[in-house]
Chains A and B, each alone.
Chain A
Amino acid sequence: MINNFLFAIDDIFSNYKKFIAGFLQIMVTFIFFAIVASKVKSLFMISYIEKNMVIDNEVYTFMNCIPADIGTVINDEEKRDKLINLWKEVSSDDMLASYGAKIYVADNESKITINDARYAQSGIAKKNSLTADNRSLKLEVTANFFDIFSLKGNFVPEYKEVFSTGEDDGVTPVILGYSFAKIYEIGDSFKDEKDDEYRIIGFLNKDSYYLYPSSLSGEPVDLGGYVIIPAKLDADEATDVCRLIDGIYVISNTPDYCDYVQRRMAEEELFTLDVRSFTYELESGIEYLKDGIKVNGFLGGIVCAFAFMGLVGNLVQYISDYKREFAINMLCGSDKAGIITRIYVQVLLLVIFGIIPTVILYGKSVELMCTVVFAIIFSLGIMAYPLILIRRFTIEEMLKRGTE
């Protein structure tokens, strides 16, 4: 086995140009496959959200505010006051109570560093944040966020009340994604980089996803690695109000509440808001993902076909070039299995090198696992014809043909 490995390495060095070409082909194939796998995964997640979300009421969201508008409003004292007053009016309006509830999801890019050795050693942050730093993604929400997405988990019985109340003696209640359950227990406390203290009041189950308001790209968020804390908002702060509008879900039978906010915003010459139903967002997300799967699948399929044909062609050429050498090795004591191993080691190395960029891009993930399975099937597929070819030859034939 070691001999065949060394022979394979020697062959790679002798044909390094072909190896590099093969590596590039296989690398692009695997990246495309991982992209498609990622889209399919998102499609499953979004379908899961669709199945599990509150179905009695429609959910409406405000579309993202245009950043330029936000600046105009916040920098204009009169408009800022108008915005704060309007928000106070609509947030305490009886209309909301009759139509449903609202939840707020804060900036989904914010992060938190847990100042704790268990956390640092666990690698959870690196695994879930897709960044090199040691921080986890943080989500600020109101308590009914968990109802909207039917998020289940292991919580303290009064978690909703605790979550609604927010801080207790300066300690913030926190619900963590399932990956944290490996290192923490309910009731544990930890501090962040600012020395703020948090107490764990629950863990989410594994399949816990949500879709950020106004996300038409259909990229649901897996909450497995998230730190979820109660939203802290100051309704007297214009920036908080802007964030509130930007990240709000309204559960209602009708979009009236949203229409009202939208109309009032226009009357006060503040923002031009659009209102969208969540069903529409989900459907457009699904369409977006399906399109992505089609386009990437088509391109990936073409790349895969070219890579497959190119690599099989290269292997057949390699066997043709080296068959005399194989025959000589067989005269000296190798069997066909050894020769096949020598060829397969090269294919395997090509696949291993080819999958490295996917590993870097996707880390330890479902996408990577799918790509690894695909890579194994792909490598076996590449080997199929050369295997038949080599099995058909006798030593005598290989020696003769090589001298022709």
Chain B
Amino acid sequence: MLIEMRNIRKVYEQGDSTCEALAGIDLKISQGESVAIMGPSGSGKSTLLNIMGCIDRATEGEYYFDGKEVNDYSDGERAKLRNEYLGFVLQDFALIERYTVKENVILPLKYSKKIKKEAREARIDEVLKLVGIEEKKEQSVLKLSGGQRQRVAIARALVNEAEVLLCDEPTGALDKATGREIVNVFEELNKKGKTIVIVTHDPDVAAECDRVIKIVDGRVE
């Protein structure tokens, strides 16, 4: 099992009051699976994705990634995990706008020794070709359309050979047609063995996944 969560709880404290975002989540995701996480706004699906992506820590519970409990990992260990095993695709693309496409895509490689320096250029070309924007390599991301930006984000997520792509509303800022194209990219990647977890409101996107997990009030329905 690549991802396994047991009784994951997340409680936010604001002054004297507390808010329980996740109320005991149990889930398992296998290598190569594509999973959609759906649920109403405020149900806790993004919080779940953040914990899965080691961006946030669970208040309680156990989180195993590739058989290792990672909830108690140090900041540095979690950063290494994000760098080497996880790729993020977010609704607002999370790109550095003053950078070019190449400068954005190379970021994970700067924190990693997985791919040697001399092989980096070829790797960038490879992922850009995979997402279909190889001709935009030297362009500023500011000059790209929404769909192209999301492709850059996917390329960045893939460049360091991530096992899992964690996507938070990846089509949320795109028109229907462009969103469809991005979903097709995910399908292609999933066929190549990538594990894909997508948080979405869009039933059409969810329909393309192997499995749908519904979250309501911080629990798996």
Contact = CB atoms under 8 A, between A and B. Distances in A.
A337 interface: yes
B90 A332 contact: no
A325 B103 CA distance: 13
Interface stretch (A99-107, A343-351, A391-399): A391-399
A333 interface: yes
Interface residues of A, number: 21
Interface string B72-85: 00011011101110
A331 B82 contact: yes
B75 A333 contact: no
Given A328-B107, A396-B50, A403 B76 contact: no
A332 B55 contact: no
Contact of A333 (B53, B56, B108): B108
A75 interface: no
Contacts of A403: 92
B96 interface: yes
B96 A330 contact: no
Interface residues of B, number: 26
B76 A332 contact: no
A338 to B, nearest CB: 7
B80 A394 contact: no
A334 B95 contact: no
A328 B56 contact: no
- Among A333, A336, A338, A396, which residue has the most Cβ atoms of chain B within 10 A? A333
A335 B78 contact: yes
Contacts of B55: 330-331, 394-396
Given A331-B55, A332-B83, A3 B111 contact: yes
Contact of A331 (B56, B80, B94): B94
Nearest to B74: A335
Interface in A360-404: 394-396, 399, 403
Contact of B107 (A14, A332, A394, A399): A332
Nearest to B54: A395
A329 B99 CA distance: 13
B76 A337 contact: yes
B98 interface: yes
A394 B56 contact: yes
B41 interface: no
A332 B42 CA distance: 26
A329 B98 contact: no
Contacts of A399: 90, 94
A325 B156 CA distance: 14
A399 B94 CA distance: 8
Contacts of A396: 50, 55-56
B112 interface: yes
Interface string A1-21: 001000000000010000000
Nearest to A333: B83
B96 A333 contact: no
A187 B17 CA distance: 85
B82 A330 contact: yes
A332 B156 contact: yes
A388 to B, nearest CB: 16
B110 interface: yes
B88 interface: yes
Given A3-B111, A338-B79, A331 B88 contact: yes
B88 A333 contact: no
Given A328-B94, A396-B50, A3 B76 contact: no
Contacts of A327: 94
17 contacts: A3-B110, A14-B98, A328-B95, A328-B96, A329-B107, A330-B82, A331-B82, A332-B82, A332-B83, A332-B108, A333-B84, A334-B79, A335-B79, A337-B76, A338-B111, A394-B56, A395-B50
Interface of A: 3, 14, 324-325, 327-338, 394-396, 399, 403
Question: What are the nearest 3 A-B pairs in CB distance?
Answer: A333-B83, A333-B111, A335-B79
Given A331-B55, A333-B80, 17 more contacts: A3-B111, A330-B79, A331-B53, A331-B82, A331-B88, A332-B83, A332-B107, A332-B111, A333-B79, A333-B82, A333-B111, A335-B76, A335-B79, A337-B75, A337-B76, A338-B79, A394-B55
